[in-house]
Chains A and B, each alone.
Chain A
Amino acid sequence: MPVIKPFAILMLLLGLAFAANTPSLAQAPDAELSTLVDALGPGSFKDRTAAIDALTQTGDPRVVPVFETLAAGDLYMVKTSGKVVFIAKSGAEQALTDPVTNADLDTAAKSDLDKVKVNNSLRRTLRTAIGQLTLLSPNDSVRLAAAQSILRDADPDSLELLESAIANETDPTIKATMITARAIIILKLDATSLEQKRAAVPLVAAIGGRDALAQLSAALASAPDELKLTIQSNIDGLARDQAAWDVAQNVWYGISLGSVLLLAAIGLAITFGVMGVINMAHGEMVMLGAYTTFAVQETIRQNAPGLFDYSLAIALPLAFLITALVGIAIERGVIRWLYGRALETLLATWGISLILQQAVRSLFGPTNRQVGNPTWMSGGFELGGISITYSRLWIVVFAAVIFFALLLVLKRTALGLQMRAVTQNRRMASAMGIRTPFVDAMTFGLGSGIAGLAGVALSQIDNVSPNLGQGYIIDSFMVVVFGGVGNLWGTLVGAMTLGIANKFLEPYAGAVLGKIIILVLIILFIQRRPRGLFALKGRSIEA
């Protein structure tokens, strides 16, 4: 090993000299490159080093994947032709790909292939060569990616390479990334001088966030005493920032959880508020909505895979219709016979929920079903120190849209007016000519339909199983009871309060204990305000 290292540095210098001489690293012709790649196959490790050297000198970006595959030990040579290839398993055979042109070649049995062998010194050579091809590539984005990868790994071996790359770099952004990477490596190495390290500390701290904190904490242990104070103060500063971001992150998680609760509870709030009916089958409406999404996606997968990104748009109206119809059927079939007997309604709807669960279990099976995320809902982004996934973001947006749409329905439509009238005084509303049975059926349909919409949204973040609804039912009740009945704003405040409180308790108490504390707090809260945060006033409420 000690013999190899100077050799690698020599290689690097050779390469650097070459790179400096030929600033415009043009692509080599395919045939020429193929010959060079094929030279990797036969011979000893020494021959292979020479072949790597020759490939590095072409400066061709297509060499990088070849080197990476070789370093991973996945490069193969066809025994008969001596051609070096990429392989991928394809049935019993291996599918071959040309490393230079990326063209598909024949398939071959594994026994017809020879692995191109690598050892540690060759790997080091390869790493240097890859760094040289990337860090010193004429292509800006390649250089940036290479700098970022070094920033992540902070491999001390790449320090020399990085130094030369910084010297040659003209782009300020890339240069800054490289300098930060260098600073991290300097802090890591024992050999670097105190001055270098002192200069490196603020650079590392400037990265910000957990990464910088971790780097500095690691450096603190091995740092010379003179530097410890500087590092420590930087760590403290970072930790303060981090704490602030953590709060922000928790708020975001809380809002996200609150939106989920809001979606699950808002339909319940309507049926409970208007009709005084506890719908225990509400969770199953959510479940039906989720299964509608699953069915829509399955149909699309089989018939029109291109439409997959629109699957949710198709599922939304369908889920609303299906669950609204089921809801109206339940209301007309069972609940209307039980008005005035709230406790019996609770039991009957619980029975309906069992039937619906078992029906779905019989139809779709008891296991979790896979509901895919459309491309516009997968992934995420960073906002300062907060990481936000698109699926959560869309659910927050969706919950807000549903909430305000519902508010609009209640305040601006004839049905909404009638619903509010029935909520406030059923008999008087009836006396004014409102068909209360019709309003009841429509209300129940609306509440159920919204549960179905919630199901479409929840299918994106939760397991779609027959028990999906059960998981939400108690939480939804808590939101409605906490927020107060007959007031959508109460539901909103209730959902957000519970969501955020839950997420803030979680780090201190753990997820389960946090939830228990919330439940106990609600039970105590209800003692103070038996009708929730925003209670309807008036005698009509007292049953």
Chain B
Amino acid sequence: MITQAIFRAIDRKAIWLVSILLLVAVAVPAANLIIPPGQFGHIPVYLVTLFGKYLTYAMLALALDLVWGYCGILSLGHGAFFALGGYAMGMYLMRQVGDRGVYANPDLPDFMVFLNWQELPWYWLGFDNFWFACAMVMLVPGTLAFIFGFLAFRSRVTGVYLSIMTQAMTYALLLAFFRNDMGFGGNNGLTDFKEILGASVQADTTRAALFAATAVGLAISVLICSTIVNSKLGKVMIAVRDAESRTRFLGYRVEYVKLFAFTVSAVIAGVAGALYVPQIGIINPGEFAPANSIEVVIWTAVGGRGTIIGPIIGAVLVNVGKSYFTGAFPEIWLFALGALFVVTTLFLPKGIVGLIGQYRTMTTRREQHQRPEPTEHKPASDVQPKPAE
């Protein structure tokens, strides 16, 4: 009874969250376009783009939370799915440049002309079509995650081994995309975009529309994730996280559960990347850097893993902090980020959202005994040195 009530509450929370995001999707572009500059309430276009970027990060963090927070798979390679989605979108945008590039070649992007390529490689075909590109945005990361996950989960690669493998995966992709012969622009990546769906990527209206699209995308991701985690499958995922062997002995196919979560998560990450690229205006191999992927983990951890709203809060907060610190005190940023990793893992195992929960349980101490914690397998107060098994 009690647990059911809690789940209903989470569901209601998700609905609230989706409503807020949809409101933001309408209000922010409106505040940018309708309210004239200088007047109270006007949001300058650079802020719209900046927060659009944060929302794509929030989507990425949410995707990671689905596998880490709910399924116990710490992926250190989610940046790779994000970047792959970004590249798919970048390829579409590149094709839209057409003959307006520096070399005015109607078919080939500038970097291919520069490298003396004669024709478009086969894997670039079709990317002039927006919907094809959109399909690829989801298919490419999804397929990679499916294959990688299928191999890894089937042979029961778990824990830190899996983390290291995902890191190796993104590192291999980083190296691969740095190569000029790969046909993805090498070191410089894809940039100098002109238009998306016929609208200039520089225009204020396009930027506002992209922001709205990102907010809506995030809202949809929240819906998908909360539906999954509140379903029976979601409960199995949590069971896998908390006691994998036990779940397997109960007869569940743990590897399929994990594979499902991993693939869905990769697709969400890919879409986030696709929304990120037109707003930022560039995608390069640096997005594959293992350090980026680990940073995503800390956004999720800071916000609170195993919750839907946590990663969104975490991603936005950490990135606002990053924007501020790297501008104001560039030396301090890495200290702050490093400290954030240590402090979060030591003192905030449930993140900021968990902190609110901790506060609430402190005020209503008696209730705590009756209410089990379904989303966290270890109580926050358990910081006693405990031997590894």
Interface residues of A in 466-517 (CB under 8 A from B): 470, 474, 477-478, 481, 512-513, 515-516
What separation, in Å, do the CA atoms of A361 and B338 have in the docked complex?
14
Q: Provide the residues of chain A in CB contact with B130, threshold 8 Å.
A: none
Which of A93-101, A181-189, A297-305, A525-533 lies at the binding interface? A525-533
Indicate if the CB atoms of A337 and B387 lie closer than 8 Å.
no
Could you tell me if A337 and B383 are in contact, using CB atoms closer than 8 angstroms?
yes
CB within 8 Å of A: which B318-335 residues: 331, 334-335
The CA of A351 and the CA of B341, in the complex, are separated in Å by 5
Query: Are B163 and A346 in contact (CB-based, < 8 A)?
Result: yes
Given A353-B338, A512-B178, does the pair A527, B151 have CB atoms closer than 8 Å? Answer: yes
Q: How many whole Å from B67's CB to the nearest CB in chain A?
A: 12
B345 touches A (CB below 8 Å): yes
Question: Are B387 and A348 touching (Cβ within 8 A)?
Answer: no
The residue that A339 contacts in the complex, of B169, B335, B385, with Cβ under 8 A, is B385
Cβ–Cβ < 8 Å partners of A523 in chain B: 148, 151, 165, 168-169, 172
Cα distance A117–B197 in the bound complex, in angstroms = 72
Query: A215 to B66, alpha carbons, bound, how many Å?
Result: 65
Q: How far is the CB of B75 from chain A (nearest CB, A)?
A: 11
**Neighbouring A residues of B179 by C-beta, 8 Å:** 512-513
**A478 CB contacts on chain B under 8 angstroms:** 164, 168
Which 9 A/B pairs are nearest by Cβ-Cβ distance? A351-B341, A354-B338, A355-B338, A358-B334, A519-B172, A340-B386, A276-B388, A351-B338, A348-B345
A residues neighboring B (CB under 8 Å): 275-278, 334, 336-348, 350-359, 361-362, 426-427, 430, 436-437, 470, 474, 477-478, 481, 512-513, 515-516, 519-520, 522-524, 526-528, 530-531, 540, 542-543
Given A512-B178, A543-B389, residue A334 in contact with residue B155 (CB < 8 A): no
| Complex Cα–Cα for A65 and B168 (A) | 58
Q: Which residues on B sit within 8 Å (CB–CB) of A528?
A: 155
Of A276, A337, A343, A470, most buried by chain B (CB within 10 Å of CB) is: A343
Task: Assess whether B165 is in contact with A526, with CB atoms less than 8 Å apart.
Answer: yes
Complex partner residue of B387 from A350, A355, A427, CB under 8 angstroms: A427
Using Cβ atoms and an 8 Å threshold, which residues of chain A touch B294?
A: 347, 350
**What 0/1 pattern do residues 176 to 211 of B give for CB contact below 8 A with A?**
101100000000000000000000000000000000
- Judge if B9 is at the interface, Cβ distance under 8 Å: no
Q: Nearest CB to that of A518 among chain B residues?
A: B172
Do B171 and A519 have beta carbons less than 8 Å apart?
A: yes
Interchain pairs with CB closer than 8 A, number: 151
Across the interface, do A278 and B154 meet the contact criterion of CB distance under 8 Å?
no
Q: Judging by beta carbons under 8 Å apart, are B346 and A340 in contact?
A: no
**C-alpha spacing A354/B295, complex, angstroms:** 11
Q: B340 contacts the other chain (Cβ, under 8 Å)?
A: yes
Residues of B within 8 A of A340 (CB): 386-389
**Residue B167 interfacial (CB < 8 Å):** yes
**CB nearest to B301 among chain A residues:** A347
Residues of B in contact with A (beta carbons under 8 Å apart): 74, 148, 151-152, 154-161, 163-165, 167-169, 171-172, 175-176, 178-179, 245, 290-291, 294, 297-298, 301, 331, 334-335, 337-342, 344-346, 349, 378, 383, 385-389
Interchain nearest-CB distance for A274 vs B (Å) = 10
Q: Contacts of B297 on A, CB cut-off 8 Å? A: 347
- 13 other A-B residue contacts (CB within 8 Å) besides A351-B340, A526-B165: A341-B345, A351-B337, A352-B342, A353-B338, A355-B338, A358-B338, A481-B164, A516-B176, A519-B175, A527-B151, A530-B155, A543-B159, A543-B388
A528 to B387, CA, bound (A): 29
> Can you sample 10 A-B contacts with CB below 8 Å?
A277-B388, A336-B385, A337-B346, A342-B160, A352-B341, A478-B164, A519-B169, A523-B168, A527-B154, A530-B158
Complex Cα–Cα for A527 and B255 (A):
13
Whole-angstrom distance between the Cβ of A354 and the nearest chain B Cβ: 4
The reply to whether A520 and B386 form a contact with Cβ atoms under 8 Å apart is no
- Picked from B74, B337, B344, the residue with its CB within 8 Å of the CB of A354 is B337
Residues of A within 8 A of B339 (CB): 351, 355
Whether the Cβ atoms of A542 and B245 lie closer than 8 Å is: yes
> Can you name the residue of chain B whose Cβ is closest to the Cβ of A530?
B157
Give every chain A residue within 8 A of B158 (Cβ-Cβ): 530, 543
Contacts of B385 in A (CB 8 A): 336-337, 339, 437
Q: How far is the CB of A533 from chain B (nearest CB, A)?
A: 13
Interchain CB contact under 8 A, A540 and B389: yes
Given A337-B383, A348-B341, CB of A522 within 8 Å of CB of B334: no
Residue of A at shortest CB range from B346?
A: A337
Contact at A350–B341, with CB atoms within 8 Å? yes
- The smallest C-beta distance from A424 to any residue of chain B, in angstroms, reads 12
CA distance A75 to B385 in the complex (A): 78
Give min CB distance, B337 to chain A, whole Å.
6
A275 CB contacts on chain B under 8 angstroms: 388
Is there an interface contact between A474 and B175, defined as CB atoms closer than 8 Å? no
CB pair B341–A354 under 8 Å, yes or no, is yes
Chain B contacts for A358, CB-based, 8 A? 331, 334-335, 338
Our pick among B151, B156, B386 for the contact of A524 (Cβ within 8 Å) is B151
User: Contacting B338 at CB < 8 Å: which of A352, A522, A527?
Assistant: A352
Contacts of A277 in B (CB 8 A): 388
B381 to chain A, nearest CB (A): 12
Docked CA distance A336–B178 (Å): 39
Please give me the residue from chain A that is nearest to B155 by CB atom: A527
Q: How many Å lie between the Cα of A253 and that of B28 in the bound state?
A: 59
| Known contacts A358-B335, A512-B178; is-contact A334 B346 (Cβ 8 Å) | yes
Distance of A339 Cα from B385 Cα, bound (Å): 6
Look across to chain A and name the residue whose beta carbon is closest to the beta carbon of B342.
Answer: A351
Least CB distance, B145 to chain A, in whole angstroms: 13
Beta-carbon contact of B383 and A477 below 8 Å: no
**Contact A342:B152 (CB < 8 A) given known A350-B341, A477-B164, A526-B161:** no
**CA separation between A101 and B319, bound complex, in Å?**
72
CA distance A359 to B386 in the complex (A): 31
Q: A339 with B387: in contact, given A347-B301, A358-B335, A542-B245 (CB under 8 Å)?
A: yes
